[in-house]
Structure 1
Amino acid sequence: MAKGIFVNLPVRDLAKSTAFYQAIGFRKNDLFSNERASAMEWSDTVSVMLLTHGFYSGFTSKPIADSHATSGALYALSFDSRDDVDAITEQAIAAGGREAHPPEDEGFMYSRAFEDPDGHGFGPFWMDMDGAKTAMQTQGVP
């Protein structure tokens, strides 16, 4: 198996969350999904595991954070263009998510931010690597 990442997210309403992630372009992998979890694939090596609170609680003794009130992590998603960044953000809002802050445009990088229905934060972005290198060199960053 190739190296990859599986991000486990606790969700209050599995069906609603599954529909949200499908609406923003994730693919549901039925092989690893059931009434307690939905395996949502972003790419061949990146998946988000949506877990009911009861199932998630079996993996930790810590209380489940209310992501609407606290932030424990922000998930950055890279895209090929600014238009793609705008598209997923608009899809997220239309599917019941919330825009977290206005677009940020650094010239070489463009980003937006949204939250899923449970308050988990995502930051879709596009970056021109050559432009980023130039900007970092101009600022004296190696």
Structure 2
Amino acid sequence: MSQIAFVNLPVTDLSRARSFYAALGFSFDERFSDDRAACVVVSEHIFLMLLTRERFAEFTPRPIGDPARATSVLLALSRSSREEVDAFMAAGLRAGGTDNDMIQDHGFMYARSISDPDGNVLEPAWMDVTAYERSLGDELNSAIDA
């Protein structure tokens, strides 16, 4: 089985970044953290590496983008309810994040968008897969009836 081992994010202030992700309720794996990196434990299988820009540069020969100026990645993080999406946003805003004013509400899916203090974009999202599958069936039935 393949899985993403780490999602690496460049940060300008590691202490500030740690505080932000801690405020979202995430823990840290200190075995993979030091004064240039912090390993954020999102779940049993999802880890974010917050890397100082200098440390991040050691992993790529290309210039490092500035997430405060241009978006390269959107990290969608599942939540178990609409309320958890809103709670995630509230915690992130209190910790210095920026609301990107991007709300998706399709009934069966609800997502929002927040940038961390460095501009990395997180999208807390909830989806009722059963309701989504039902909506696909309804669309198919409507197309057949037409």
TM-score range for the pair, normalised by the shorter chain length: over 0.9
SS state of the match for residue 43, structure 2?
coil
* Aligned residue identity for 1:123: E
Q: 2:101 and 2:32 mapped to 1: Cα distance?
A: 33
**Offset, 1:3:** 4.3
**Where does residue 95 of structure 1 map in the other structure?**
95
C-alpha RMSD of the superposition: 1.6
- Listed one character per residue, the Cα deviations across residues 67-118 of structure 1 (whole Å, up to 9, x for unaligned) are 1111111000111111100000111111000011243211111111100011
Say yes or no: does 1:126 pair with 2:129: no
Equivalent position amino acid for 1:112 in 2: R
The Cα shift of 1:36 comes to 0.7
Does 2:63 match 1:63? yes
Match of 1:33 in 2: 33
Normalised by the size of structure 2, how large is the TM-score? 0.90
Number of residue equivalences: 140
In structure 1, distance between residues paired with 2:3 and 2:74: 21
Q: Which amino acid aligns with 1:113?
A: S
Taking every aligned residue pair, what percent have the same amino acid on both sides?
38
Higher strand share: 1
Aligned position for 1:135: 135
Partner Cα separation in structure 2 for residue 62 and residue 101 of structure 1: 31
Structure 2 unmatched ranges of 5 or more: 141-146
Instruction: Tell me the secondary structure at the aligned position of residue 62 of structure 2.
Output: coil
Larger C-alpha radius of gyration, 1 or 2?
Answer: 2
Letter in 2 for 1:30: E
CA distance in 1, matches of 2:136, 2:75: 23
Q: Residues of 1 paired with 2:78 and 2:14: CA distance?
A: 25
Q: Which runs of 5+ in 1 are unaligned?
A: none
Q: Which amino acid aligns with 2:119?
A: G
Which letter maps to 2:115?
E
Return the alpha-carbon distance in structure 2 between the equivalents of residues 35 and 112 of structure 1: 31
Aligned partners of 2:100 and 2:5: how far apart in 1? 24
State the 4+ residue runs in structure 1 displaced beyond 6 angstroms.
none
Q: TM-score, normalised by structure 1?
A: 0.93
